[in-house]
Structure 1
Amino acid sequence: MKATPGLDAPDLSAPGPRPPGAAELLRAVFRRHAAGVAVVTAAGTRPVGFTATSLASVSMEPPLLSFGVGTGSSSWPVLSEARHIGVHLLGEDQRELAETFARSGADRFAPPTRWRTGPYGVPVLDGVPAWLVCAVVARIPAGDHRVVIARPEAGDPSGAGRPLLYHQGRFNALRD
C-alpha cells in the first residue's frame, strides 16, 4: 500500500482551524457511544491512576493497545515518564471504583480500593475481570491529550463478571 503524502504522520497537536462548535459536537456524539470502562495505573512516588473509556486494541502483531490521557490530568506527570502501566477492565459491579478513579483530588488507592504491587512495580487492582501490565512504546501528542501506545507483557483475563460501560455520561451495565 502506497503512503499518502501529508497523511502518514500528521501533527495531531497542532490546533489548526476548526468549525465553530466542533468540540461540543464531538462531545454530544460520543455521549451516544457506549464504551468499556478501564482504569489505567502507574507507579510513581505514589501510585497514580485514572478512569479511561478510550481504551482500544491497536494491533495483534505486534500486540499493542492505546488509550488517551489529558496532559492536565493529575496522573499525567507520572504517566509521561512511566516505562510500564497497568490497564484494568472493570466489571458492572465496579461503578464506585470507576467513580473513585474519575474523581479529581480523590485518594484513589486508599481503602476501599484493593490493590497490590504487580509486575514492574505497577499497581494492579484486585477483583477486576481482566488486567494487563504493559510497556509504554509511544506517547503521541493529540491536542490537549496524549495517545499512549503500549505493549502487553503480563496480565490475567480470568476474572469473573460482565463489563462496566460508559454511555450518556453515566456508568451502566449491559441489559439482556
Structure 2
Amino acid sequence: MTAPPAPPALIPALPGSPELLRSVFRRHAAGVAVITAAREGVPVGFTATSLSSVAAEPPLLSFSVGTGSSSWPVIEETGHLGVHILGEHQSGLAGLFARSGADRFGPDTAWRTGPEGVPLLDGVLAWMVCRVVARVPAGAHVVVIAEVLAGNPEGDPAGAGRPLLYHQGRFNALRD
C-alpha cells in the first residue's frame, strides 16, 4: 500500500483589508446589471455587479450603491427602481453607466418609461421593476433590498444573447 499524498502546504492568510477584499473579488466573476430610478421624471442609473437574489417568497433581490454615487440621492428616496441584466453585447452601456459624470440617458441610450415611472433600458437580456423594501447602511455603501413587482425574463427581442460578466476589473463575455 502506498501512503496518501501529503496535503498541500497551507498558504498563510493575509490580514483583512480593503485591498484583500478587492483582490479576492477580482477573481469572482459577477453578472452585470444596471439599476435605474427617476425623480420628477429625471432618470438616474448606475452599473452594479453586486446584484443578488435574496428570496423567492416574496421575490426579493439586493444590490449595493455607494452613498457618494450621483445616483444615490434618488435611490435613497425612491419607492421603485428598475433592474436590467446586460448582455455580452452591452459592455459599452455598462461602461457608460459606470462612468462618473457621463450623460447616461443621452441620445445614444435607448430607453422608455415603464411601470411606476421607472426608466427601462431597451435591448437588455431581462428586466424587473421593483419596490424598495429596505436600505441597510454598510460602510460607505447602502445595501438596497427590493421586491420584484413586474418584469420580463426574455428582455427585448434585441436583447437575446448571453450575459455580460465582470471579472479581473473588466467586462467580459462567456467563453465556449
Q: Same fold (TM over 0.5)?
A: yes
- Select the residue among 38, 49, 56 that pairs with 1:53: 49
Moved over 6 A (4+): none
Distance in 2 between residues matched to 1:65 and 1:161, nearest whole Å: 23
What is the Cα deviation at residue 111 of structure 1? 1.9
- Select the residue among 35, 39, 49 that pairs with 1:40: 35
TM, length-normalised to structure 2:
0.88
1:22 paired residue number: 17
1:125 paired residue number: 121
What is the Cα deviation at residue 144 of structure 1? 0.5
Alignment partner of 1:136 is 2:142: no
Distance in 2 between residues matched to 1:157 and 1:62, nearest whole Å: 17
- Quote the sequence identity (%): 75
2:165 paired residue number: 165
What is the Cα deviation at residue 140 of structure 1? 0.2
Query: Cα deviations across residues 30-62 of structure 1 (Å, max 9, x unaligned)?
Result: 011000000000011421000000000000111
Please, what is the CA RMSD of the aligned residues? 1.1
Gaps of 5+ in 2: 1-13
1:103 paired residue number: 99
Distance in 2 between residues matched to 1:86 and 1:62, nearest whole Å: 17
Answer with 120-129 or 19-28: which moved more: 19-28
Partner letter of residue 87 of structure 1?
V
Partner letter of residue 48 of structure 2?
A
